[in-house]
Amino acid sequence: MSATTTTKLPKDFIWGFATASFQIEGATDVDGRGKSIWDDFSKIPGKTLDGRDGDVATDSYNRWREDLDLLTQYGVKSYRFSLSWSRIIPLGGRNDPVNEAGIKFYSDLIDALLERGITPFVTLYHWDLPQALHDRYLGWLNKEEIVQDYVRYARVCFERFGDRVKHWLTMNEPWCISILGYGRGVFAPGRSSDRLRSTEGDSSREPWIAGHSVILAHAYAAKAYREEFKEKQGGQIGITLNGDWAMPYDDSPANIEAAQHALDVAIGWFADPIYLGSYPAFMKQMLGDRLPEFTPEELAVVKGSSEFYGMNTYTTNLCKAGGDDEFQGHVEYTFTRPDGTQLGEQAHCAWLQDYAPGFRDLLNYLYKRYRKPIYVTENGFAVKDENTMPLEQALKDDARVHYYAGVTDALLNAVNEDGVDVRAYFGWSLLDNFEWADGYVTRFGVTYVDYDTQKRYPKDSGKFLSKWFKEHIPES
Ligand code: NCW
């Protein structure tokens, strides 16, 4: 850890924690909420690791004041959370009624945050599509319908919350929406041509169609915001993409190229059209006519549609050319270096190891390529076996503290030494919560949740981040 304590972040640097509606709220059938695609999907045997669903989650629909107490206790400046589309428009569509109880829930939450001096960062879509839209026209697979329905939903949110919300994120992690939901079939709606996962879908085409719709829905919602709300409300709008750093396995030209291909599919698929105006050449070459095309009018709306770069990142993958996995750009990922050593500490989930230098490299890559201010909207670690350890041990989450110590140091260096314009950092997550296909087995929280009692217990990592940001953001 090389940073000295005199090195600081800018005084208006924003930090906080992030959550998502379906992962924390529970209360899936109260106050007029419609079903989301995760409601039933999480109940299908085999879809979650522990066979548990999201009906209760961390019960934050009822306990949100307690969650805000935690935020205050950690001293955050901001809280990133998502709105449940099906609480706001239970049937989802552009002609369907708005549910005032859903509006009131989020309105009260926003007011309470502001009263505490905490700035809301609001994600409009974090994977919980209204079930009715899937039933009507297959959701993200139907570009014409979904774009109009999403834009209407976004407009309702701008109208009802935009007087108080100044930071909007249209979508969370389009790669996950498209690939995990319509390619691998491991996330709702579970479409994949792989018969082991689902008997529906065409994974050679559907993920790319879904991704295309997500980009357009984002872009047209951002257009509506800019044309109808921005001037009066004075906020910002952008998108959040997932993407881990890709490092060549060794210095062979094939593996150096493979690392770029991995970035092209994981990040460039969305970031290139949005910030640069076209899909990556490699994706066009890999997919041919299976990659949808934008019309010139659409492209004019897509290009420049995000005012900042929302970055969710967790790890670094060593990349080797080869394999037939298009979802990773025909690249094989490993954490084992050529000399047999591991890149870093293994997390509970297979896809994550602790490797902080990659965080700094990724910030530099994104800033150089896309030239936008960066908001780190998610970053975090799931400690191995935390779900089965005694509470006292789980609260001393040294591996997560190590992870956060590494990335905060990398953040400081990226800002101060490399000149990357990073403006915000959100740890994932405020609480342990419903970790999608992992059920409640994988815990990402800086706060432990005892799912029998719903009691919350701050972990050492939460205290670490709280102290670190206090020390590194000058008081204004
Ligand atoms: S699952 C996932 N996550 C976690 C989730 O809790 C959150 O809602 C998401 O925004 C933590 O952050 C995101 N990301 C999926 C990464 C999947 C990587 C799969 C790679 C397979 C090779």
pLDDT in tens, 422-439: 999 999 999 999 999 999
**Residue with tokens 């970055």, as numbered in its chain:** 311
pLDDT tens digits, residue range 6-44?
A: 689 999 999 999 999 999 999 999 999 999 999 999 999
How much distance in Å is there from the Cα of 231 to the middle of ligand 1?
Answer: 34
Render 98-164 in DSSP notation, one character per residue.
P-HHHHHHHHHHHHHHHHTT-EEEEEEESS--BHHHHHHH-GGG-HHHHHHHHHHHHHHHHHHHTTT
Question: What pLDDT is stored for residue 198 in this prediction?
Answer: 81
For residues 77 and 27, the answer to whether their CB atoms sit within 8 Å is: no
Question: What pLDDT is stored for residue 6 in this prediction?
Answer: 63
- In DSSP terms, 318 is beta-bridged to 247, 334
- In DSSP terms, 171 is beta-bridged to 125
3-state helix, strand, coil in the chain (%, to 5): 45, 15, 40
Which amino acid, 427? G
> Which phi and psi (to 5°) does residue 75 adopt?
75, 30
Name the token pair of 172: 């969370």
What number is the ipTM of this complex? 0.94
For residues 114 and 120, the answer to whether their CB atoms sit within 8 Å is: yes
pLDDT tens digits, residue range 338-380?
A: 999 999 999 999 999 999 999 999 999 999 999 999 999 999 9
Question: What pLDDT is stored for residue 12 in this prediction?
Answer: 98
Question: What pLDDT is stored for residue 5 in this prediction?
Answer: 52
For residues 219 and 289, the answer to whether their CB atoms sit within 8 Å is: no
Count the neighbouring beta carbons within 10 Å of the beta carbon of residue 115: 9
Cα–Cα distance, 411 to 409 (Å, whole number): 5
Name the token pair of 306: 């995000």
How much distance in Å is there from the Cα of 282 to the middle of ligand 1?
Answer: 24
Q: What does the CA dihedral 198, 176, 305, 13 come to, rounded to 10 degrees?
A: 160
Cα–Cα distance, 215 to 297 (Å, whole number): 14
Name the token pair of 245: 């750093």
Name the token pair of 67: 């969650």
* Active site members: 173, 378
Cα–Cα distance, 331 to 334 (Å, whole number): 10
pLDDT tens digits, residue range 197-229?
A: 887 999 999 999 999 999 999 999 999 999 999
Give the sign of the dihedral formed by CA 126, CA 127, CA 130, CA 136.
Answer: positive
How much distance in Å is there from the Cα of 98 to the middle of ligand 1?
Answer: 30
Ligand 1 atom at minimum distance from 433 CA: 6
Ligand 1 atom at minimum distance from 333 CA: 22
Question: What pLDDT is stored for residue 2 in this prediction?
Answer: 47
Cα–Cα distance, 122 to 112 (Å, whole number): 14
Report the chain's mean pLDDT, rounded to a whole number: 97
Task: Report which protein residue has its CA nearest ligand 1's atom 15.
Answer: 176
Residue of 23, 314, 379 to mutate, ligand 1, most atoms within 8 A of C-beta: 314
Can you count the helices (H) and strands (E) in the chain?
19, 13
The residue ranges of the chain whose pLDDT is under 50 are 1-4
**Residue with tokens 């190229």, as numbered in its chain:** 257
